[in-house]
Amino acid sequence: MDNQRLFLFIALSFVVLLLWEAWQRDYGPRPVEQQAVTAEAQAPEVRQDVPSEVPQAPEAAASATPGNTPSPVAAPPKVQTVRVVTDVYDIRIDTRGGDLREVDLLAYPVSPKTPDEPVKLLNDVPPDIFIAQSGLRASSGTEPTHHIVYQADQTEYRLAEGQDELVVALRWTSPEGVEVTKRYRFRRGDYLFDLEHEVKNGSTAEWKGRQYRQFQRADVQRSAGLGTVYTYTGGVIYSPEEKYEKIPFDDMAEQNLSRTITDGWAAMIQHYFLGAWIPERGEPNHYYSKALGNGLYVLGLIGPDRSLAPGESTVFKTQAYVGPKVQDRLEKIAEGLELTVDYGMLTVLAKPIFWLLEKIHALVGNWGWSIILLTLVIKLAFYKPSEMSYRSMAQMRKLAPRLQKLKERYGDDKQKLNQAMMELYRTEKINPLGGCLPILIQIPVFIALYWVLLESVEMRQAPFILWITDLSARDPYFVLPVIMGVTMLIQQKLNPAPMDPIQAKVMMALPIVFTVFFAFFPSGLVLYWVTNNVLSIAQQWVITRRVEQGKG
């Protein structure tokens, strides 16, 4: 097999692999039945979306504790929306359950053209439902699940200038006299916040309960800003034993997750952003999932029981992260949380590549120039293997006229043709596969870099120069894809011409196919490819010229 056929095979394999990785939702999209996702679907019955992993769970949502005379039931408080504004968040908390119903990320606009429209990561409007719920299960009495209605001290909270922490408190008292205060603690400049459930047993009987936290999400797949390339959207859990595991919606529909994990976390992730529940270290939690129907799924965790004698109190604590996938932040919060920046199978290569890209950016301050310099560094690292490959191709190109004469001499007798070609290779001391291995060992690095540029939130809406205002979006004028196609044509001219006319036609069509294909890729990826091609052309041209002049 000559080098041209090898390049064709590698190029097509690379395209197939990119498609397989990029469109690998593991899992195929299913449309959400919007007509069924009503306000009732957003607040289902307790027995449907509240975790059942609790001993002696009551049949009714409200029942009197034995030996305790409940107070007369007052009229239920009015459901309200509490707005919370920090320097990074604009949040809507529903007093029913204290759910996080909407979370806007103020530092991340939907588009550079609409800088005042932030990304709405959590949302309770169909079809893109994604909400954070939490509550307590109790062995008896009225349960403070995420369906009870809290009372809020005020309906709006704002982080004031010079204020570092903002506390939002919601209160509820059961008919039996159990008082629950639900507190959110938000901090300046931080997407990690604390959640507390303080319980005071004001009844005359023992209270026993446990805390649960969960995300409820619709199965809505998201593209990576390209219209064609999709990234994973779904559930993820982490345990010290099994490490990082995806829990896709398909798996939730087929079988409920049921596992006890200590020092883990649960998250719902999408391209660039995530929501994660992080329990206290050392606390065993039961992790669960459930398909609610109508395209809605729940992934969460429920902690161990605590018992309170009359007059006693306790505080259930947990943390949540709702924000961008910024790796240096995530790795400081919990073990393995940075893996939600999903580089796939090549994470071991992608992480050091991203580290180097960050270091270069710290020096130059522009992600576009950082990509160019990173490509140069990688090209230098692979200079010797590339040199071997290009020298082999140059030698094959030098032999092309003699190979063509052999083909004309032996015609369709492939056996004699192959024997004559091998004899020629031996005489000239040329290995026709000499360029294969150097190219093959570079492919994993190139694919890892592809995922770094696709998955890193730092690339999102990052400007480069002139018309390239967003490296995560396609080139609006297709200039870079066209330049890339031209560089591929130049590379073909430097390669030995294929002897097979059909193969030659395919090779000629390949730059056009790649140009169309890359026209819808993020401009940061195309910038990398253009830079790599230009450097490759320079190196190949020098080596080819030296070989043809008898100096190589």
- In which residue ranges of the chain is CATH 2.70.98.90 found? 31-70+79-342
Closest to 126 in 3D by CA, of 46, 214, 19, 34: 34
Q: How far apart are CA 227 and CA 271, in angstroms?
A: 13
Q: How far is CA 197 from CA 178, 179, 205, 210, 280, in A?
A: 12, 10, 20, 10, 13
Q: Say whether the peptide bond before residue 444 is cis (omega within 30 degrees of 0).
A: no
Q: Which position has the token pair 């052309």?
A: 537
CA distances, 264 to each of 1, 234, 288, 292 (Å): 50, 17, 13, 24
By three-state DSSP, how is residue 284 classified?
strand
Alpha carbon 533 to chain centroid distance? 28
DSSP secondary structure string for all residues of 38-84: -HHHHS--HHHHS---STT--SSSS-PPTT--PPPPPPPPPP-EEEE
Per-residue pLDDT at 243: 94
H or E element, residue 400:
helix 383-410
Q: What is the DSSP letter of 496?
A: P
**Per-residue model confidence (pLDDT) at position 376:** 92
Q: Give the pLDDT of residue 225.
A: 47
Given this model, what pLDDT does residue 28 score? Answer: 41
Q: What is the mean pLDDT of each run of 10 residues along the chain (552 residues)?
A: 46 52 43 36 52 46 34 59 97 96 95 90 93 93 91 94 95 94 97 97 94 94 53 93 94 94 96 96 96 92 95 96 95 94 87 93 94 91 74 69 74 74 72 62 81 88 90 89 90 68 73 85 88 86 70 54
**Which of 152, 36, 162 has its CA nearest to residue 91?**
152
- Give me the pLDDT at residue 67, please: 35
By CB atoms closer than 10 A (0-12, 13-18, 19+), residue 110 is: middle
Residue environment code for 417-453, b if the CB has 16+ CB neighbours within 10 A, otherwise e:
beebbeeebeeeebebebbbebbeebeebbbbbbbbb
H or E stretch at 330: helix 327-333
Q: What is the CATH number of domain 31-70+79-342?
A: 2.70.98.90
* DSSP-based three-state secondary structure for 527: helix
Looking at residue 257, its amino acid is: L
Q: What's the pLDDT score for residue 236?
A: 97
Phi, psi of 112 (to 5 degrees): -60, -25
Measured distance between the N- and C-terminal CA atoms of the chain, rounded to whole angstroms: 23
Residue 206 CB-density burial (10 A; 0-12 exposed, 13-18 middle, 19+ buried):
middle
Q: Are 151 and 171 in contact (CB under 8 A)?
A: yes
